[in-house]
A and B are shown apart, each in its own frame.
Chain A
Amino acid sequence: MKTYYILTLSKLYQTAILNSIIQLILFLLISAILFIIIIILLRLKDLNQQKKIKLFKEKWESSFFDYIGSEKDPNEFADKIPKSSATILLIFLKEYFNLLNGKELVTLQKLINDTWIFSFLLKDLGSKSSKKIIRALYFFGISKNQKVKPKIAEFLSSRNQIIFLHAAQSLAKINALEYTERILASANLYKQISDDMIVSVLLEFNSEVCDYLTKRIIIEDEKFKVGIIKILTYFKFRQAANKVIKLLETVENKPLIIECIKYVKQIECIESLAILKNFFNHTDPEIRSEAIKAVAQIGDDNETLLLSTNLYDKSIQVQIDTAEALVKFKRKGVMLLQMVAASNSDPSAASVAQMVLNEYQLEKSNDV
């Protein structure tokens, strides 16, 4: 009786469960088939667009090259192109914005700023489509259009993080320094914006942005401080040295310490030598390594002896970086490495010294 009961019940359950699974899977299958159709249609649309671009190029490329780099009125070329081909024209122009510079780039910028394309893009900026907005932001930025700065700045408060990033990049390309503060303040509101993204934006500004960023070093939170110092390092902006050294004395955040060290190394800041030497005994091996590399870059061969203590560091990576730093001091450093390589006191330091010396000698013989 019990067996019969179990079997009957099991069959009922089996059918019910299986029906639900099949329904779920059929739903997924139908969705997948619909997806396949959509994806194939998108591909076909892509192919169609590529064909249109090819035809456009065949028809207009020669007149475009007649105009580019010349003194001609940009409207002469732009007016020939039907407005219905605006989207294709912009795709075509984008390619050249990435390739051209100098006088050619200026004529390309005029084509955006002084023809009907400008009002077309302005209309895009007012549309609800994020795709169109992003396109307009890109072209206004790359053509350094000063007139639309306030319009672009409106998008710094967009809820859409991608639109915000494009707006910020656009303003940076125009070198709209007056909006730097707003860019950083707004960036703080987006959770998923990394310091790398901010760096990408800030790098689009001219070096003048460094003055402004130096003022912000103390105010910004540590995530952005790292980005700011990366920019100062890139532009080799010496005027920030005092503030960065001060930061180096007080800060405990590892990425920030490393960026500060890279900064003083890049600008070869002699004033930072004493502080850098304090980091030789830091608990973090990466910080020790960076400090050693910086001292080797900034200091002279009087530092050899001090550096040599780190040849016996507990981290082999620090030992390698120290040995490579010592080689930079040529004779004095090489002699010291030869002594360590020949000594039996620390096999690991001897291996490292041997490896670095081998490389040095091979390089030297190659130079000869």
Chain B
Amino acid sequence: MTFNNFLVYFNYFILGYFILLVSTYILLNILSFKKILHYNKNIEYIDLENIFKLKNYIPISIIVPAYNEANGIVESVQSLLQLIYPNYQLIVVNDGSKDDSVRRLIENFNLVKMGFLPLYKIESKPVISVYKSLTYPNLIVVDKQNGGKADAINAGINTAKHPLICVIDADSVLERDSLLKISRPFMENENVLAVGGTIRIANGCKIKKGHVFEIGVSNSWLARFQIVEYLRAFLFGRTGFDAINGILIISGAFSCFRKDCLTEIGGYKTGSIGEDMEIIVRIHKFFRKKNPKAKVTFVPDPICWTEAPEKIKTLMRQRTRWQKGTIDSLLLHKSLFLNLRYGLLGLLAFPYFVFFEALSPIIEFLGYLFFIISVILGLVSYQFMLAFISAAILYGIVLSILSVILEELSFKKYPRIKHLLILFIAAVLENFGYRQLNSWWRFKGTVEYFLGNKAWGQMEKQGFASKNFNT
């Protein structure tokens, strides 16, 4: 085969890849629109107050892994203690912080040391002390040696007494009724093993005492692009895959599990780069073999607000890390690929993640490269290349606009018309530079992963306590 022939075939491959991607997204969008609008209609007719009236709930243990969060930990805990739920336990796991997180917690919450024997045998770094609050009987603080986020969650599971485990990032803010909504799928269907909630960007919102009291949009375009990106990922991606029981990732910032499911698989995998994706893939792999009806689901409504990076460098680190985490989890559980035993998860969702998430930066990069060579060699016309790139960008714009529209039709979180216009503009602008930059970071993450650099990288966060994101 000559080089020219190879280029032609490769261009065909790129075209085919693009068509397949477009078709998959259209399918996911249709499924998501249907599912979210249906969800919204139904939730209107289910009175969440009934959970209290009828004592119809499953108790929850919330685990908050914290590392060097001294700045915001007190406000975070205060806000988590005010969640609306009839019976929950809050377990803050201090993962060997170098700051004075534990001292601040002891002083503010009247903590006393108590004896501790792990309830489960999930491995984690040694626990130094366990504290219980005399003021808030449902608050427990576990102080342990540093072992990373997964290890901290495992220590939390060993202390948890309730049947459901909810994992929340220490720097995230939950809406007060989030637990009521995220726990519903467990009550409706006993095959549900894990539930993910929606994450929204808090930059631009006014937050006081750990509560979002005014929703807004940040002044930073980088944060605005991420708002649209999160809407797309959560409202379309996850909801769409939920329709085929093909969710492979739920955000580590806000997720809920059956405790017996976590203990049976030995908890989170320590040392994993993307522990939130790895655990979900492992849950599918382990439980769907035993019970084909086992389900990981996603609820678009319970909302967790989180801080998005506003600095390019921080965002780059985050995205390369996410890419490494995706590849790592997929490689660890490659046996699911096109595996009929796992139904549509093995046939569609897993291959989607392999081709359109893990490999897409490489394919995209090679596509650009060979396209340019093809134009130079006269194999593809200049007009064709321009038309193709325009189609790709137009398609990106359509997808982003649709996600803002879906948000407005379903949840209407952004109160002002100005916000809506900003989001529509961001949905257009993000396709000119931001998306390409993202692809480059993901390409970098892929290359680094295969070259053996699997380090996490540092994340800088300002924290809600140190700054209010006023518009």
Report the bound CA distance from A33 to B398 in whole Å.
Answer: 9
For residue A29, which residues in chain B have a CB less than 8 angstroms away from its CB?
A: 394, 397-398
Q: Does B8 contact A (CB under 8 A)?
A: yes
Q: Is the CB of B132 within 8 A of A39?
A: no
For residue B388, which residues in chain A have a CB less than 8 angstroms away from its CB?
A: 18
Q: Which residue of B lies closest to A10 (CB)?
A: B8
Option from B119, B259, B424 in Cβ contact (under 8 Å) with A351: B119
Q: Does B453 contact A (CB under 8 A)?
A: no
Option from A14, A32, A230, A355 in Cβ contact (under 8 Å) with B54: A230
Q: Is the CB of B46 within 8 A of A43?
A: no
Report the bound CA distance from A3 to B9 in whole Å.
Answer: 11
A7-B8, A320-B161, A363-B137 in contact; A234/B401 too (CB < 8 A)?
A: no
Q: Shortest CB–CB separation between residue A368 and chain B, in angstroms?
A: 11
Report the bound CA distance from A122 to B381 in whole Å.
Answer: 68
Q: Which residue of B lies closest to A362 (CB)?
A: B132
Number of B residues contacting the other chain (C-beta, 8 Å)?
60
Q: Does B332 contact A (CB under 8 A)?
A: no
A316-B119, A355-B117, A362-B112 in contact; A200/B47 too (CB < 8 A)?
A: yes
- What are the interface flags for A259-282 relative to B under an 8 Å C-beta threshold, 1 for contact and 0 otherwise? 000100000000000000000000
Interface residues of A in 269-314 (CB under 8 A from B): 285-286
A17-B19, A18-B388 in contact; A197/B132 too (CB < 8 A)?
A: no
Q: Does B380 contact A (CB under 8 A)?
A: yes
For residue B190, which residues in chain A have a CB less than 8 angstroms away from its CB?
A: 254-255
Identify whether the interface residues of B are mostly helix, strand, loop, or mixed: helix
Q: Shortest CB–CB separation between residue A223 and chain B, in angstroms?
A: 12
Q: Is the CB of A197 within 8 A of B46?
A: yes
Report the bound CA distance from A17 to B20 in whole Å.
Answer: 13
Q: Is the CB of A39 within 8 A of B420?
A: yes
Q: Shortest CB–CB separation between residue A164 and chain B, in angstroms?
A: 10
A32-B398, A32-B402, A317-B163 in contact; A22/B132 too (CB < 8 A)?
A: no
Report the bound CA distance from A131 to B4 in whole Å.
Answer: 63
Q: Is the CB of A233 within 8 A of B161?
A: no
Q: Is the CB of A197 within 8 A of B45?
A: yes
For residue A44, which residues in chain B have a CB less than 8 angstroms away from its CB?
A: 417
Q: Does B55 contact A (CB under 8 A)?
A: yes
* Residue among A28, A192, A199, A366 facing the most chain B CB atoms (10 A cut-off): A28
Q: Does B452 contact A (CB under 8 A)?
A: no
For residue B397, which residues in chain A have a CB less than 8 angstroms away from its CB?
A: 29, 32
Q: Is the CB of A10 within 8 A of B11?
A: yes
Q: Which residue of B lies closest to A194 (CB)?
A: B188
Q: Does B134 contact A (CB under 8 A)?
A: yes
Report the bound CA distance from A230 to B5 in whole Å.
Answer: 70
Q: Is the CB of B119 within 8 A of A348?
A: yes
For residue B380, which residues in chain A have a CB less than 8 angstroms away from its CB?
A: 11, 14
Option from B45, B134, B417 in Cβ contact (under 8 Å) with A40: B417
Interface residues of B in 414-471 (CB under 8 A from A): 417, 420-421, 424
Q: Does A36 contact B (CB under 8 A)?
A: yes
Q: Is the CB of A18 within 8 A of B387?
A: yes
For residue A14, which residues in chain B have a CB less than 8 angstroms away from its CB?
A: 11, 15, 380, 384
Interface residues of A in 177-199 (CB under 8 A from B): 192, 194, 196-197, 199
For residue B163, which residues in chain A have a CB less than 8 angstroms away from its CB?
A: 286, 317
Q: Is the CB of A21 within 8 A of B19?
A: yes
Q: Does A250 contact B (CB under 8 A)?
A: no
Q: Which residue of B lies closest to A162 (CB)?
A: B41
For residue A17, which residues in chain B have a CB less than 8 angstroms away from its CB?
A: 15, 19
For residue B420, which residues in chain A have a CB less than 8 angstroms away from its CB?
A: 39-40, 43
Q: Shortest CB–CB separation between residue A230 and chain B, in angstroms?
A: 5
Interface residues of B in 111-136 (CB under 8 A from A): 112, 114-120, 132, 134
Q: Does B24 contact A (CB under 8 A)?
A: no
Q: Does A354 contact B (CB under 8 A)?
A: yes
Q: Which residue of B lies closest to A166 (CB)?
A: B45
Q: Which residue of A lies closest to B387 (CB)?
A: A18
Q: Is the CB of B394 within 8 A of A26?
A: yes
Q: Does B408 contact A (CB under 8 A)?
A: yes
Q: Does A55 contact B (CB under 8 A)?
A: no
For residue B381, which residues in chain A have a CB less than 8 angstroms away from its CB?
A: 11
Q: Does B391 contact A (CB under 8 A)?
A: yes
Report the bound CA distance from A355 to B405 in whole Å.
Answer: 50
Interface residues of B in 1-46 (CB under 8 A from A): 2, 4-5, 8, 11-12, 15, 18-19, 22, 38, 41-42, 45-46
Q: Is the CB of A203 within 8 A of B50?
A: yes
For residue B115, which residues in chain A have a CB less than 8 angstroms away from its CB?
A: 354, 358
Report the bound CA distance from A234 to B151 in whole Å.
Answer: 42
Q: Is the CB of B55 within 8 A of A262?
A: yes
Interface residues on A, range: 35 or more
Q: Shortest CB–CB separation between residue B343 and chain A, in angstroms?
A: 23
Q: Does B260 contact A (CB under 8 A)?
A: yes
Q: Does A35 contact B (CB under 8 A)?
A: yes
Q: Shortest CB–CB separation between residue B360 and chain A, in angstroms?
A: 18
* Residue among A21, A192, A194, A255 facing the most chain B CB atoms (10 A cut-off): A21
For residue B263, which residues in chain A have a CB less than 8 angstroms away from its CB?
A: 316
Q: Shortest CB–CB separation between residue B23 and chain A, in angstroms?
A: 10
Q: Shortest CB–CB separation between residue B224 and chain A, in angstroms?
A: 16
For residue A320, which residues in chain B have a CB less than 8 angstroms away from its CB?
A: 119, 161
For residue A43, which residues in chain B have a CB less than 8 angstroms away from its CB?
A: 408, 417, 420
Q: Does A213 contact B (CB under 8 A)?
A: no
Q: Shortest CB–CB separation between residue A32 and chain B, in angstroms?
A: 4
For residue B219, which residues in chain A have a CB less than 8 angstroms away from its CB?
A: none
Interface residues of A in 1-53 (CB under 8 A from B): 3, 6-7, 10-11, 13-15, 17-18, 21-22, 24-26, 28-29, 32-33, 35-36, 39-40, 43-44, 47
Report the bound CA distance from A185 to B410 in whole Å.
Answer: 31
Q: Does B106 contact A (CB under 8 A)?
A: no
- What are the interface flags for A203-221 relative to B under an 8 Å C-beta threshold, 1 for contact and 0 otherwise? 1000000000000000000
Q: Does A165 contact B (CB under 8 A)?
A: yes
Q: Does B395 contact A (CB under 8 A)?
A: yes
Q: Does B379 contact A (CB under 8 A)?
A: yes
Q: Is the CB of B8 within 8 A of A32?
A: no
* The 7 nearest A-B residue pairs measured at CB: A351-B117, A32-B401, A28-B398, A358-B114, A25-B394, A200-B47, A196-B46
Q: Which residues of B contact A (CB under 8 A)?
A: 2, 4-5, 8, 11-12, 15, 18-19, 22, 38, 41-42, 45-47, 50, 53-56, 112, 114-120, 132, 134, 137, 161, 163, 188, 190, 259-260, 263, 379-381, 384, 387-388, 390-391, 394-395, 397-398, 401-402, 405, 408-409, 417, 420-421, 424
Q: Which residues of A contact B (CB under 8 A)?
A: 3, 6-7, 10-11, 13-15, 17-18, 21-22, 24-26, 28-29, 32-33, 35-36, 39-40, 43-44, 47, 162, 165, 192, 194, 196-197, 199-200, 203, 230, 233-234, 254-255, 262, 285-286, 315-317, 320, 347-348, 350-352, 354-355, 358-359, 362-363, 365-366
A-B CB contact pairs (8 Å), 14 listed: A11-B381, A13-B12, A18-B387, A25-B398, A29-B397, A32-B401, A43-B417, A47-B417, A196-B46, A200-B46, A200-B47, A316-B263, A355-B119, A362-B134
- Known contacts A32-B401, A233-B55; can you find 14 more A-B pairs with CB under 8 A? A3-B4, A18-B15, A21-B18, A24-B22, A29-B394, A36-B405, A43-B420, A194-B42, A199-B54, A200-B50, A262-B55, A358-B132, A362-B134, A365-B134
